[in-house]
Structure 1
Amino acid sequence: MKIHRKCLPAACAAAVAAVSLQAQAVRVDYVVDMGIERNDNVIMDPVDPATSSAVRTGFGLVLAEETSAVQANLAGRMEYWDYFEGPQSNAFEASLVGRVNWFFVPETLSFTVEDSLEMRPIDRFAPDAPNNRQRVNVLSLGPNLHFNWSQAVRGRAELRWIDSSAEQEDEFESERLSASLHAIRTLDPTSTLTLSARGQDVDFDNPVSRDYRRYDGYLRYNKTLSRTSLALDAGYTWVDYADGTSRSQPMVRAGAEWRLSPRNAFSLGLAHQLTDSSDSALLGIEAAVEVPDRLSSSGSAVNSSMYENDRADLTWAYRHERINFTAGPYYERIDYVDTGVFDETRRGVVTQLGYQLRPTLHLNVFADAARSTFTGQDLRTEDRRYGAGLEKNWSRHWSSRLDYLHYRRSDDGLYGSARQNVLYLTVTYRNR
């Protein structure tokens, strides 16, 4: 597999920056694990399934700091797979998602580093398998100027250099400069209104890809109450391509959460926007609270084209002393500007249940079903995953876990139908 040199250094930049900023005040939670896996169809071949056995070594961490000078939150995981049986080559996989903001002039001038490293499919139409994954990294860094427009309105100006890279997709690789200006007004103790304008100049490394300039203007309303919260963006996006063509579209993004009781909560997300793979990766960065036990991944393809994105998701979460349950459907439509090959409509449902059998014994069950229709290929695919895991805590730091996963993939004939069963036994050490 070809690896671009800048893909991994860019991913490490955020972590290096965070550790160098007052490292003595940083809280670091980490996990080290090792296990053995047995897979009865490792490359998801519909005709000739090949079994494999592998030893996996993993390391995950969450790094956090919240002071007047430094605000940092990073979550990452690395895995090395040593296949001692089967057709698959040894593999290193990694993910890192986070943001670091450092005020080197108090309340006035800060510097921000953001990074999103995910595992993405090489071939979007093929089943998920170790030979169909690539590391995709988007790194953003630059200064921020904080000032007061007036007694009631605060201002913030941002300048960013953004680098996008992928192991396999040369068309995706780019550099861009982005400048933003925000005016923030506090309406009352629970709500704010922000007017934002942003301009980007995007330069792709591959001459086949179309360079462009993008402009966004939008208004954001935030309201946070004891049991509800709401964030709403409404505005417009304009794109001017280097070849003289242009594109424009309204932008609407919304997120809401209702905490019906201490145990029940609903969350809703909606979006109608013109975006691209790099921009959506940075917008997806969220604060992590737990050390990831799996890699951050996405099923979406990466390329240079902007796309029209319509998205909706609803989640119900129930929390109890012994039971944790989440469930919800989602819908997403992706319509590319430059190519219709990857146009996709995806519908799915995700459920997860955790149950404490004993104080030191936990059962976890999940189900994930998704259906995708690719209009450009006249293709429909279905992906279904079901699994269960039994975890035993031996002490404060040590635990073991046995997992079973069933993955089934079917389509209209491009790759055919395939299924796999995976057993995985792991031993884990946690520092907290």
Structure 2
Amino acid sequence: MTTSRHSLHRTLSTRRRILCAALAAALPFGAQAARLDYDVSMRYMHSDNIVLQAANEISEDILSPQVRFDLTHDSSVLTTRLRGNVQYLDYMDDVYQDDTRGEFTGELEWTLLPERLTFYARDSLSEQSVDSLAAFTPGNQQKINVFEAGPTLMARFGETMRGVLDLRYTNSWAEETETFNSDRYSAAARLLRPLSTTDTLVFNLEAGQTEYDTISEFYNYKRYDAYVTYLSELSKLNLDVSAGYSRLKPEGADGTSSALFRGYAGWQVAPRSQLSARASYQFGDASQDLIQRVGAPGEPTDPGTPGGPGVGQPGDPNLQIIPDTFKQKRASMGYEFTGERLTLLAEPYVEQLRYLRDESFDADNSGISVSARYGLTARLSLTGVAQRYKREFTNIDRDDTDTILGTGLAMRFSRHWGAQVDYLHRKRNSSISSQDYVENVVALSVTFYR
């Protein structure tokens, strides 16, 4: 255990040094292109059922300072986007131990040799469940970090054809679920052929090996992908569609194969309205799910504000932090409206997960999330959120339906100061009666904006 923790510390320290070195080396060439936005909040929250139980409910008061930041930098040498928040939770009635939480997503692309060599890195740090079958209480949360980095080599073949070689190392780490910890090594060769000024065809060959820290003899595997990607960037329509074939080869076991499909379409319906659609049929795992969300195309902007309640769902309520690989079928839609006063975001989805080893987590999931912000005056805004998620396990007798309703009122006193009051209602209906719960949270925050 001690050796594992020292190894983890070295891994985290190494990747911090890589990112810091890249930033330090590149910023002098385009410091004027860097932009840092941040806010500092002090929040008071009251929950009438912090333990999320059907009976023996316990209320709790929480005092929580928080810092959020958004750093963007774009120059000829460095392109980066770093977003995150850190908050300290003081449980005033000591129902849970005081805790520090953090979330972070970031991408960095550092050009070492123009059109020849770049260094790429992205990271995802989030709070996820330790036991996804139990309620997401403060005692059932853990930090999950997935870090990916490596060089990209480029070459030209003729007038238009380009070749790309991506070499990547991925480290996955869980605070509590040690069987999730792993290292992944992969290489991808791509051949890009422009069809026109707006359309491109990409031929992809990928190979990777995943090695787990504690259960290697059971779960290590190799993966091979071959697929074709079609990219189109029109004035009002963007397409990113991949289709091909995947094969998994576990150590000491027979391999399994499947078709591969990933598709995204973004349509600018009107100057203020955008529709998007995503669909996938592929092998996946928890690490892949977390890291791909960092750079997913067309991710809409959350119209919420920094003062919202800090007790909620994990980033992906259906994600199991386990080493198993699954076959995923997923389709989702998105609608985003950005008006002078109203910002609206709606996202329904359906999903089917079938695990290759532990079938007890096989599930059919669906849900919808709607969030909005309306400017009552130049300084006063009304916010709202409505979410409903359903998961039906196919091999165990359990179905869950989660409902989240929230509203808030945000006031900006000046360019740098604001305050917000929020109300959040959470409810779970489960076929397992002991897993039912209802919670109401009231939050009051004061925020300094840079």
TM above 0.5: yes
Write the distance in 1 (CA, Å) between the matches of 2:290 and 2:279: 17
What SS does the corresponding residue of 1:309 show, helix, strand or coil? strand
TM-score, normalised to structure 2's length? 0.91
Instruction: State yes or no: 1:286 paired with 2:305.
Output: no
1:317 counterpart residue number: 336
- 1:391 to 1:14, Cα distance in 2 relative to 1, 3 A: farther
Could you tell me how far 1:363 is from its partner in structure 2? 0.2
Could you tell me how far 1:266 is from its partner in structure 2? 1.1
2:26 counterpart residue number: 22
1:334 partner amino acid: L
Could you tell me how far 1:333 is from its partner in structure 2? 1.1
Write the distance in 2 (CA, Å) between the matches of 1:11 and 1:77: 19
Could you tell me how far 1:107 is from its partner in structure 2? 2.1
CA contact (8 A) 1:57 1:81 kept: yes
Instruction: State yes or no: 1:106 paired with 2:110.
Output: no
- 1:292 to 1:182, Cα distance in 2 relative to 1, 3 A: farther
Q: Identity percentage over the alignment?
A: 27
The unaligned stretches of length 5 or more in structure 1 are: none
When the two chains are superposed, the root-mean-square deviation of aligned CA atoms in Å is 2.2
| Alignment deviations for residues 41-83 of structure 1 (CA, whole Å, 9 cap, x no partner) | 1120211111101111111111111222111111111111011
What SS does the corresponding residue of 1:188 show, helix, strand or coil? coil
Could you tell me how far 1:194 is from its partner in structure 2? 0.8
1:270 counterpart residue number: 279
**Which segment is superposed worse, 21-30 or 271-280?**
21-30
Write the distance in 2 (CA, Å) between the matches of 1:414 and 1:377: 15
- 1:334 to 1:13, Cα distance in 2 relative to 1, 3 A: farther
Write the distance in 2 (CA, Å) between the matches of 1:342 and 1:324: 36
CA contact (8 A) 1:14 1:113 kept: no
Write the distance in 2 (CA, Å) between the matches of 1:195 and 1:54: 53
Write the distance in 2 (CA, Å) between the matches of 1:263 and 1:106: 36
Instruction: State yes or no: 1:72 paired with 2:91.
Output: no
CA contact (8 A) 1:11 1:115 kept: no
| Alignment deviations for residues 237-291 of structure 1 (CA, whole Å, 9 cap, x no partner) | 1111111311111011111112111122211111110111112222211388789
1:174 counterpart residue number: 182
2:256 counterpart residue number: 247
Of 327, 331, 348, the match for 2:367: 348
2:316 counterpart residue number: 298
Could you tell me how far 1:32 is from its partner in structure 2? 1.2
1:118 counterpart residue number: 126
Residues paired across the two proteins, number: 430
TM-score, normalised to structure 1's length? 0.94
Tell me which of the two structures has the higher relative contact order, counting C-alpha pairs closer than 8 angstroms and 6 or more residues apart. Answer: 1
1:131-280 mapped onto 2 (5 Å cutoff)? 131-207=139-215, 209-280=218-289
Could you tell me how far 1:8 is from its partner in structure 2? 5.9
**Which segment is superposed worse, 342-351 or 208-217?**
208-217
Q: Higher helix share goes to which structure?
A: 2
Write the distance in 1 (CA, Å) between the matches of 2:51 and 2:13: 29
Could you tell me how far 1:229 is from its partner in structure 2? 1.2
Write the distance in 2 (CA, Å) between the matches of 1:361 and 1:21: 42
Instruction: State yes or no: 1:91 paired with 2:115.
Output: no
Write the distance in 2 (CA, Å) between the matches of 1:167 and 1:333: 27
Write the distance in 2 (CA, Å) between the matches of 1:67 and 1:150: 28
The unaligned stretches of length 5 or more in structure 2 are: none
Of 394, 413, 418, the match for 1:394: 413
Write the distance in 2 (CA, Å) between the matches of 1:313 and 1:213: 29
2:87 partner amino acid: E
